Structure 1
Amino acid sequence: MQLDRHRGKVRRLHAACRQECVMPKLLNINTYHYRRGGSDAVYLEHSALMAAQGWDNGFFAMQHPKNLPTPWSRYFIDELEFGNAYSTLDKLKMASKVIYSFEAQRKLRALLSDFPADVAHLHCIYHHHSPSILPVLKKAGVPVVMTAHDLKVACPAYKMLNRNGVCESCRTGSVLNVIKNRCIRDSLAASAIVAAESGLHRALGTYQKHVDKLVVPSRFFGDKIVEWGFPADKVVYIPNYVDASTQVPRYEAGDYFLYFGRLALEKGVDTLIRAAGAAGVVLKIAGTGPEEAALRALVAQLGADTGARIEFLGFQSGAALHTLIQQARVVVLPSQWYENAPMSVLESFGFGKPVIGAAIGGIPELVRDGVTGWTFEPGNVQALTALLSRTAAMPAEALAEAGRAGRAMVETEFTKDRYLAAMLELYAGLGVRS
C-alpha cells in the first residue's frame, strides 16, 4: 500500500512537471530549410531528434521555394542564390551580405525577441547569413554550438580545394592566396569577395571568439581545424549516425560496382571511370552535378567496350537508391578532397556493403583497410584499377565478411543513441539542461 502511494506521488509530480516545466529552446540555424545536401539533412534530423526529447525548436534559414513549411519563415533572410541571374546592383548587394549581413543580424534579433533560445546550433551559415550573426547570439547570451560540415571555419575556400587540387596556402599565408589561385569556382570576382569576407572575420576572430563548441564529425577535421589555429578546447568529436534498424543488409555480392553522390570535380569520378575501364568491370553511377557532361564524354572517349559497362543512372534516392546499394558488389568513393565523414560510407555499411575509398580526409576512419573495405591513394588510377580487379575476383564470403564488419561498425559506433547522448552532454556542459 505504501509503495502504491509512493508511485502515485511520483506520477503526480511527473504530471505537474510536464505542465509547469519549461522545456529547453533550441535555435537551429542553416542556409536551407529543406534536404538539399548532407548538412541540411543533419540540420533537420538533429532538430527532429531534439523535438522527440521534448525540446522546443526554432529555425533561422534563408527564404527558398523548396523550403519545408514553417511558421519561422517570417524571420528568414532573403533568398540569395549564387547560380541565379541578378542585376549588377543586386550582385553588389549580395557581395556585401557575404562579407557582413546587417539583414541577417536584424532578423535574428527579431527572432530572439520572440524565441529566447537556450542554445543555438549552427550548421552552414556562410555565405548567406554570414558570420556576422555570431556576435548577435553572443550579445543575447545564447551559447553557440556549430557543426563543421566542411572546413570553412579554417580555410576561406570551405573545401580547401582549388583547380590545382588540395590547397592550404592560407594557413600560414595571406587570404589573398584565394584571389591568386581563384579558389572559389575558379572565379576572380567570387574569390575576391570571399577573400574580403575571410580577411575581415579572421581579423575579428569571429569564429574563435563567438563559437563556444565546434562539433566535428571526423577526427581528421578536428585535427585539421586545430592545425589552422582554432582553439583545441572548443573542438568536440561527435560522429554522425545512421539508423541501422531501418536498413536491411544484403551481404550477397552483386555483379556491379556503385558510385552514388554528386558528380563534381573533387569527387574523383573521372579516376573511377578510367580505373573501371582498365579493370573491365561493370560500374553504375548514381548522381548528377556540374561534371556530368564531361564524365559522359570521358566514357565515350574510352571506347565502346568501356561505355557498355558504365551506366549513368541520374539522381537516385529513397527505395530505388537503397536497392542499388543492396545489390552492388562494392561501393566506391574515389574522392580527391578532404572528405569529412561521408554519409554515403555509413549508409553503405548499413546495407551490408564494403567500400573502396580514397585514403584522404576522414574516409580512412570509416573505411578501415582490409576490415570494412579497402583504401587507395587518391587520384591513382593504377591503384584503384588493381583494387577493382581484386575485389571483382574476390570470393563472395570475403566480401560478405567486410560487409558484416561495416554493418557491425554502424550498429555500435555510429548510432542515434550515442549521437544524442553526446549532444545532450555537450549542451549540459554549456549550462543547458533537458
Structure 2
Amino acid sequence: MPSLLSINNYHYRRGGSDGVYLDHAALMEGLGWRNGFFSMHHPENLPTPWSRYFIDELEFGQAYSLTQKLSMATKSVYSFEAQRKLRSLLRDFEPDVAHLHGIYHHHSPSILPVLTGAGIPVVMTAHDLKIACPNYKMFNRTGVCERCRDGSVLNVIRNRCVRDSLTASVIVAAESGLQRSMQTYRKHVTKVVVPSRFYLEMFVEWGWPREQFTYVPNYVDASRFTPSFEPGDYFLYFGRLAPEKGIATLMRAARLAGVKLKIAGSGPMEAELQALQGELHGDTQFLGFQTGEALHALVRGARAVVLPSEWYENAPLSALESFALGKPLIGARIGGIAETIDESENGWTFASKDIAGLTQLLSMVQTMPDSRVAQAGRAARALVEQRFNPEGYANAMLALYSSLGVKTSSTGLASQERDK
C-alpha cells in the first residue's frame, strides 16, 4: 500500500488551496493510499491523530508580545521547530512521496532538506506565485508587479509589497532572499504541479527549468453540485473582498450597465466597497461571507458569475464550481481565468480593469435570451464533467508519482468506479 504525506499550513478549509490539500488526500485514500499529515495547530483544524506532530500556531496579525513576534519572524524565515517535528513524524511514518501545498511563513522551506535528506520525492502544488514572487501574487499597491524577476528582493521593502507593511515586507524579503541564495525550492522540490498553463509559462519566464513543472488542472466533483440552468435576474461575485479581485471595477461596470449585482464575501476592502456603493447608488447588494448550500443557492439563482480579477489568478475553483452549478462565467483575461472559458460557449472574457468592456458584456448577457444563457450554463456544466473531473486529476497524479519511482496501483479512479 503506497503512502502519502500531505503538508499544508492549515488542516481545515480556510481557502481554496486548503480544500485542494484535503480533497487530494481523500482522493488518494479512496485509491488505497495511506495518508499522513503535517500541518500547524489551529482551533479550527479538523481532528486528526497526526496533530501530535503539528507545529505550534503561528498567526500573524494577532496580539502577541514583542518576544513572541520576534520568534515568529525568525520561524517564518527558517523554522527549526518544523524540522524537528517533521523528523519525529518521519520516524513513525515512512511516506513514499510528500506532497506540499502551502508551507511558507509557517513551516518555512526549511522542511524541504529534511524530506530530500530522507530520500522522499517532493511534489509541490503551486497554488500561487510564491516560489517566484516574494509576496506570492505579483501584485502590490501599484498593481501587477514583476520587479523582482530581474531585480533584488529588496523591491519588496521599497514597495511595501506585503500588506503595505514595512515590517511584514522586511520579514518576507529576508525569507525570500535566503531561499533564493540557497536555491531551496529548486534543489529540493522534485516536481511542481501547476493548475494553469499560465503559471507554468510565468515560472519559466522567471528562470525556472520547464522540466521541473507538470500541468495538472484543478477539478470539482460535479456529482456533488446540483445545477440550475434557468437564468436569474442578477450577476454574482463571490470570493475575497481584496484589491486584486477587481470588485470596484465590477461595481462601476454594473452601475453603468444598469444591472443588479450581488457580492458574497468578506475581506480588507469591505468598508471601502461599501463606501463606493454609497457614491455609485447602483443596484448592488453585499451579502457577507457565504458558504455551503447557501452559497450554492446564490450561484444557482444568478444569471452569470463574474470574476473581474486584476492580478495573475491561477485556476480559481470558484470558476469550476460555478460551471458545476450550471452558470456561465464572465471573466477577466488575466492569469489562468481564460483557460476555463470557451468564448461565447460557456462564458465571455474582457480585458482586465476595462470598465467599458465589462459594462458592454454585462449589458449583452442581461439582454440575451434566457435560452441562450441557459445553453451556456449547460456547456459550462459539461466542461467540468468532461475535462475538470476527479478521474482525470487522480490519474494524472498517479502518473506523476509513478514517474518519480513510487509504486502506485495500476488502476486509477475511473477503473475503480467501473468495477463497483
Tell me the residue number matched to 1:313. 287
2:196 to 213, 218, 225: 218
User: What RMSD, in angstroms, separates the aligned Cα atoms of the two structures?
Assistant: 0.9
Tell me the residue number matched to 2:44. 66
2:352 to 378, 391, 396: 378
Counterpart-to-counterpart distance in 1, 2:295 and 2:134: 34
Is residue 207 from structure 1 mapped to residue 185 from structure 2 by the alignment?
A: yes
Provide structure 1 residue ranges, at least 5 long, that are not aligned to the other structure: 1-22
The 3-state SS of whatever aligns with 1:132 is helix
The 3-state SS of whatever aligns with 1:196 is helix
One-letter amino acid matched to 1:101: S
Tell me the residue number matched to 1:153. 131
Counterpart-to-counterpart distance in 2, 1:39 and 1:178: 24
Question: Over residues 166-206 of structure 1, what are the superposed CA-to-partner deviations in whole Å (9 max), with x where a residue is unaligned?
Answer: 10000011111111111111111111111111111111110
Runs of 4+ in structure 1 deviating by more than 6 angstroms, as ranges, are: none
2:365 to 391, 410, 414: 391
Q: CA deviation at 1:316?
A: 1.1
Is residue 360 from structure 1 mapped to residue 334 from structure 2 by the alignment?
A: yes
Is residue 126 from structure 1 mapped to residue 104 from structure 2 by the alignment?
A: yes
The 3-state SS of whatever aligns with 1:195 is helix
Tell me the residue number matched to 2:411. none
The 3-state SS of whatever aligns with 1:332 is strand
The 3-state SS of whatever aligns with 1:284 is strand
Provide structure 2 residue ranges, at least 5 long, that are not aligned to the other structure: 409-420
TM-score normalised by structure 1 residue count: 0.93
Tell me the residue number matched to 1:136. 114
One-letter amino acid matched to 2:164: D
The 3-state SS of whatever aligns with 1:127 is coil
Q: CA deviation at 1:48?
A: 0.6
Q: Percent identity?
A: 66
Q: CA deviation at 1:371?
A: 1.9
Tell me the residue number matched to 1:230. 208
Counterpart-to-counterpart distance in 2, 1:120 and 1:342: 24
Tell me the residue number matched to 1:262. 240
Equivalence map 1:171-182=2 (5 Å)? 171-182=149-160
Q: CA deviation at 1:291?
A: 0.8
Question: Over residues 379-433 of structure 1, what are the superposed CA-to-partner deviations in whole Å (9 max), with x where a residue is unaligned?
Answer: 1111111111111111112212211221111111101000000000101111111
Tell me the residue number matched to 2:223. 245
Tell me the residue number matched to 1:4. none
Is residue 422 from structure 1 mapped to residue 396 from structure 2 by the alignment?
A: yes
The 3-state SS of whatever aligns with 2:56 is coil
Q: CA deviation at 1:368?
A: 2.5
Tell me the residue number matched to 1:9. none
Equivalence map 1:292-303=2 (5 Å)? 292-303=270-281
One-letter amino acid matched to 1:338: Y
Tell me the residue number matched to 2:75. 97
1:111 to 83, 89, 99: 89
Is residue 163 from structure 1 mapped to residue 141 from structure 2 by the alignment?
A: yes
The structure that has the greater radius of gyration is 1
Question: Over residues 138-187 of structure 1, what are the superposed CA-to-partner deviations in whole Å (9 max), with x where a residue is unaligned?
Answer: 00001000000000011111011110011000001111111111111111
1:184 to 146, 157, 162: 162
